[in-house]
Amino acid sequence: MFNTHIRNEARLERLMEIIGVSPEGIDLMGKKGRQYIIKLESVPIKDAIILKQEALSVGGDCALSWSVLGLNTDSTDAILILTERQMEILTKKMEYQPFNGRIIAEELREIVGNYENEPALTLRGRRVNSPAVMGILNVTPDSFSDGGKYLDFERAVKRGKQMVKEGADIIDIGGESSRPGSGRVSAAEEMERVLPVVEALRKETDAIISVDTYKPEVAERAIDAGADMINDIYGLRKEGMAELIGQHGVGVVIMHMQGDPENMQENPQYRDVIADISRFLRAQAEKALDAGISIDSIVIDPGIGFGKTVEHNLQIIKELGAFRSLGYPVLVGASRKSFIGKTLDLHVEERLEGSLAVAVIAVQKGVSIIRTHDVMETVRAVKMTMAVESI
């Protein structure tokens, strides 16, 4: 007798098809093979007690704080542990519960829907297919990996065109280093570095152009020069940035960063790194929507390396799928970063394999954009990963 342990939902459904299970049975039992673990924050205690009871009634469970037993708290975080089938039944039952039952049911449906569905990304009318590869083009003298290499205009344009040939979907042009401890440059100097490259690549390629800046004045000039998207490491925290992007109808990458580049690596701490980052990204995405930025032009980035320890970065990579529940395309930029060097004890020029490993994991977790220095190698790794995932 041959036995096998099935850990993949797609594999489960394929095996049921092979042994002759009916399509109806595959649909029903497939939902029992998919599990959700969902954290809800600050659930009023009356709702939490009902949620616990109903989760148990459908065969799942709901973890609550011990304080709920003594009824000496107003609210609690709740962690639901349910199969897809149990989730369907639970949300229907919660609709008929008092207090905030219907609101909780709607929120659970939104979380599950966001996780299961591929978020759309459209930049100036152009649909961006996922997963896309974003090539890094730093026109700076002091970036941690390629500082000074493409500061010259001709070399920068040549590298941008080469990235397109290598398969880059997006070129991300930056004129100010954001490495830990880096100094700031004036808006005028940043524009002097970036704008000519944007204009040239806009004329000579059909790639989507992103500009890595947090300064509204730089962003506005870059958009006028042809940029399709602004990659904002401050996550729309600078006054006027959200409104500017909304007015011009371009896309935005909202990144999480704890602190500033000058101090972000000085003992970064989180209560729950995934939840804390998610809370920030959700709030800033709502700010973007209020400012008129189209919902399908918003990308979120957990900000690997920006105010995080090595352990924080590894945990973010392991749990990248959690950010999909926010409903926006996720970008990951781990290329050649110091946590790879510290994990593998390697200098920056030796971190290609570690960067590719993160890219493969990110694609498997449903990330929409991989930001990289090494375009050709990353494109190949992504294509190979997608070939396996599509089976």
Taking the alpha carbons of 300, 305, 311, 317 in that order, is the dihedral positive or negative? Answer: positive
**Paired tokens of 112:** 């599950």
pLDDT value of position 301: 98
Per-residue pLDDT of 118-175, as tens digits, reads 899 999 889 999 999 999 999 987 665 555 566 788 999 999 999 999 999 999 999 9
The catalytic residues are 337, 371
Closest CA to 375 of 212, 211, 207: 207
User: How many Å from the N-terminal Cα to the C-terminal Cα in the chain?
Assistant: 27
The proportion of the chain whose per-residue pLDDT surpasses 70, expressed as a percent, equals 95
* pLDDT over 80 at 1, yes or no: no
257 torsion bin: left (phi>0), alpha (psi -120 to 50), beta (else) = beta
Dihedral sign of CA atoms 90, 91, 94, 99 in order: positive
Q: How confident is the model at residue 4 (pLDDT cuts 50, 70, 90)?
A: low
Where does 258-367 show beta strands of DSSP type E? Answer: 298-301, 331-332
Please list the residues that pair with 255 across neighbouring strands: 301
φ and ψ of 138, to 5 deg:
-90, 115
What pLDDT score was predicted for residue 350?
A: 94
The CA-atom distances, in angstroms, between 352 and each of 112, 334, 376, 381 are 35, 11, 11, 11
Which regions of the chain carry the CATH code 3.30.70?
34-116
CATH of domain 122-389: 3.20.20.20
pLDDT reading at 387 higher than 80: yes
Alpha carbon distance 240, 210 (integer Å): 19
* CATH 3.20.20.20 domain locations along the chain: 122-389
Mean pLDDT of the chain: 92
Q: Please say whether the dihedral angle defined by the alpha carbons of residues 237, 234, 151 and 180, taken in this order, is positive or negative.
A: positive
Tokens 């690549």 locate to 201
What's the CATH architecture for 34-116? 2-Layer Sandwich (3.30)
pLDDT digits (tens, 9 = 90+) for 311-355: 999 999 999 999 999 999 999 999 999 999 999 999 999 999 999
Distance CA 42, CA 33 (A): 29
